Structure 1
Amino acid sequence: MQQPTNEKNAAPAYEAQAPAHPASVPAGAPGMSAGFAPSAYGQQPQMQQVQQGQPREWSTGLCSCGDNCGEFCLSWWCPCMGYSRYKSRLEALQQTGAPLPADDVPNCAAPGVLYLAVHCLSGFGFIFDFMARTDIRKRYNIDGSAFGDCCTACCCIPCVQGQNSRELRREEDAFRARMQAGQYGQGPGPDQTMQMQAQKPMAYPPASA
């Protein structure tokens, strides 16, 4: 018997993690295991059970460093700080389902100090980027392998850090858009959004505007 695909309060068919919920993900978007399908004209979304699709590609290219030159320069001259910043943002999404405020993103948190120590003593700091990249791929159902992540991180640390950061930013921007829409009565408010955070993070970020 086929499960209904538009049912309120439907239980997800997987072990949930803390999510951010995109404001513009279409119902049944490929790559989503479950999520919110906002209806037109700002109506409240309903839970949908969506069959998991095939892994997708990264939303930006590995060499799209021009999208944020400051971020690239930081990773080039001080990769421990670049890692500390995006790793802290990733941990916030994993633990709370909400993005870390921009002013609270640390330049030198514990992950960055550990990165610096390993990078200076052995030159193998890229291992941390490799592990974070694998976590990000799994979070968003991105195609690839651990071997590929390791080789990519080893070859170009600034490129990998930039691509990892941009992928996280898409989820952060989608979450903030959802919160802003709630403030103007166009979607769920902050309390409702927090209740949504018991569901799985989006596996297919919305297309760029």
Structure 2
Amino acid sequence: MDKVVIHQPHPDPRVDVPNSHEWGSGICNFTEDMRSCCLGFWCCPCFACMISKEYGECLCLPLLEFFRAWLSPVTMSMRTSVRERYNIEGSIAKDCVCATFCTPCVWCQISRELQRRKTDVVLVNAKTV
């Protein structure tokens, strides 16, 4: 009988752990993903719809708030939902402040977090001959 030996690669300790209880990037870390942040700044409604769909919510959900006076309930709710899904520490008060005063920044942060937490599924089929 042949032995099958599988070696798992050890993660680099400097690599960011996707299961941490912190946001992977700050609210203003635009340089981490300039392409997305430019889209978020110049066309926030389109960008928010794309992120909403990627997150699994209705594509048009963010459009409900882009014609509002000052409050951003959808952005705040999405940020809170991402925090809850990934067990990120924070508060609804901070979510509200961030969403109210910098809506594009919140959508960019959510986008970076979704990319950071995205995991590839690898299926391995090992057989002995």
Q: Give me the TM-score of the superposition, normalised by structure 1.
A: 0.47
Match of 2:45 in 1: 80
Q: Secondary structure at the match of 2:56?
A: helix
Deviation digits for residues 29-76 of structure 1 (CA, Å, limit 9, x no counterpart)? xxxxxxxxxxx724xxxxxxxxxxxx8221111111111112112221
Aligned residues: 110
* Cα distance in 2 for residues equivalent to 1:73 and 1:127: 23
For residue 140 of structure 1, the aligned residue among 81, 86, 104 is: 86
* AA aligned opposite 1:127: P
**Residue 126 (structure 1) shift:** 2.6
Aligned-CA RMSD value: 2.5
**Residue 132 (structure 1) shift:** 0.3
Q: Secondary structure at the match of 1:87?
A: helix
For residue 57 of structure 1, the aligned residue among 17, 22, 31 is: 22
* AA aligned opposite 1:110: C
Matched, 1:153 2:99: yes
The structure whose Rg is larger is 2
Structure 2: gaps (5+ residues): 1-5, 9-19
Structure 1: gaps (5+ residues): 1-39, 43-54, 93-108, 187-209
* Cα distance in 2 for residues equivalent to 1:110 and 1:126: 15
* Cα distance in 1 for residues equivalent to 2:102 and 2:52: 17
For residue 68 of structure 1, the aligned residue among 33, 38, 47 is: 33
* Cα distance in 1 for residues equivalent to 2:71 and 2:43: 11
Q: Secondary structure at the match of 2:28?
A: coil
Match of 2:111 in 1: 165
* Cα distance in 1 for residues equivalent to 2:71 and 2:42: 14
* Cα distance in 1 for residues equivalent to 2:73 and 2:41: 16
